[in-house]
Structure 1
Amino acid sequence: MKNIKDFCTFCDESTNQVYYRSKNFTLWATSGPIVEGYSLIVPNDHYNCIGAIPKELQAEYLSLKNLVRKKLIQIYGNCIFFEHGRAGYCHVQPGEELCYHAHVHAIPINVDLKKSMVEYGLASIKLDNPEDMFKKYYELGQYLYFENANNQEYLFQISRPIPRQYLRTLLADAVGKPELADYNKYPNWEQIKMTRKKLEQSFLSEKLEY
């Protein structure tokens, strides 16, 4: 009998898109990168969203996220993050309306998506500390997460339906290439290969501390 791992993109051990693994997380060069370097931070086990990861994994996640930021800035110059925290599904599995394997998008670009989300009617909550997102998750349930290039972090309360691939679509629109929101139509394998090559080499000597 099949289980969720049989259907899950992020549980595919044969993928050639992974470029780094820590004890409990994996870094992917994502399908359909809107810019070179576009990556995903993915927990190895299934959690609904990053806000829901257990306390014993939180320090490792934050340390890895800081390392990803450092590397993307070193190589590409900028870095932002976003996540659909149980809102605005992306990788949907059979019988599901939402993706159940958490993943955070890390993109080497300086684009501020906050204004567009506020204009869409979503209330923003500025996080004073990175650890606050875990506390806020249990208050909000669903959320959208965005961190700009200045390390300012926000959670957005969900007060209306969120379209599929909402934040990715905002990003594609912001760079003037709305068609790239469709990663199935524009997989961009050459950029995936280049991302993996550059970042895999950069991460070789890194030892994660947390």
Structure 2
Amino acid sequence: MDAMLVSLLDKMEIVFYEDMNKVVDLCCQMEEICRFCYPPEKERILYTTEHFYVMVSLGPIVEGYLLIISKEHIGACLHLPAEYWDEFKALKEKVRQILVKVYGSCIFYEHGKMGSCILEGMDHIHCYHAHLHCIPAKVELNLRIEKEIAGTCYGSLDECFNKKEELDRYLFVEDERIMTYQSDFKLRRQYLRYMLATSLDCEDRWDWVENQNWELIEKTIARLKPHFDEKSVLQ
């Protein structure tokens, strides 16, 4: 780990409650640094490639809730450089296969620079760092969202990526269909997490800052880590 990264992590002063592994200064941290650029809890990282890593999400709504995150600070997944796209798709497919094998299902979504994740009306660098949510859940999220926001359906992920110039701020959801949404009205924070949590009757888990759910994080790590390549190295 280089000296600059050590210095930045030291400044974050990560504090845990004595009775649980809960990060208690998240909002303060994210005023200073993007936690996706410098992930402090390395134990949550299950797999890495040249430009991405797979991490167990803080505040998992269900066991097996993962994130695919770009190592570089890129605003959204559909804004990735073209030369990263094949690597991203291959990693996404690897995650999908593992989640389907272990849990029987997998959906994806991304907020795509739309809607804050921390405080209403405030943009944070952490929120706008490309990260795809990968969830082992049997739910058609698009059916709920399209009742509130007009969407566009795509025949493939490549077709969606080819429209990226038209998609500066967007929501992305892939369940039985691949769809993007662009809202003219202000969305509640963590909009897609809220929609998923309420769809699964887990409304108390929608806020990952308040409900970090470390017990479920540890269960996810224990269950999924053997399924990822042991040669993976954080770079």
Tell me which amino acid in the other structure corresponds to 1:14. P
Aligned AA (1:124) = G
TM-score (norm 2): 0.79
- Spell out structure 1 runs of 4+ moving beyond 6 A: 1-5
Give the partner amino acid of 1:76. Y
Larger Rg: 2
Contact persistence 1:78–1:110 (CA under 8 A): yes
Matching of residue 22 in structure 1 with residue 49 in structure 2: yes
Residue 96 of structure 1, aligned match among 117, 123, 126: 123
Note the alpha carbon deviations across 1:86-119, whole angstroms, 9 max, x for none: 1012257xx7356221101000011111122122
Count of residue correspondences: 202
**Which runs of structure 2 are paired with 1:33-182 in the superposition (5 Å)?**
33-90=60-117, 96=123, 99-120=127-148, 122-148=149-175, 150=176, 152-182=177-207
CA distances 1:63-95 after superposition (whole Å, capped 9, x unpaired): 100111000000011000000011012257xx7
RMSD: 2.4
Aligned-partner SS, 1:57: helix
Q: Unaligned 5+ residue runs, structure 2?
A: 9-29
Greater CA deviation, 180-189 or 57-66? 180-189
CA gap 1:34/1:128 in 2 versus in 1, 3 angstroms: same
SS where residue 219 of structure 2 aligns? helix
For 1:9, what is the secondary structure of its paired residue?
coil
Q: Letter of the 2:154 partner, please give it.
A: L
Alpha-carbon spacing, 1:64–1:145, altered in 2? closer, same or farther (3 Å): same
Question: CA, structure 1 residues 177+22, in 2 after alignment: closer, same or farther (shift >3 Å)?
Answer: same
Show structure 1 runs of 5+ residues with no match. none
The residue type paired with residue 34 of structure 2 is C
SS of the equivalent of 1:40 reads strand
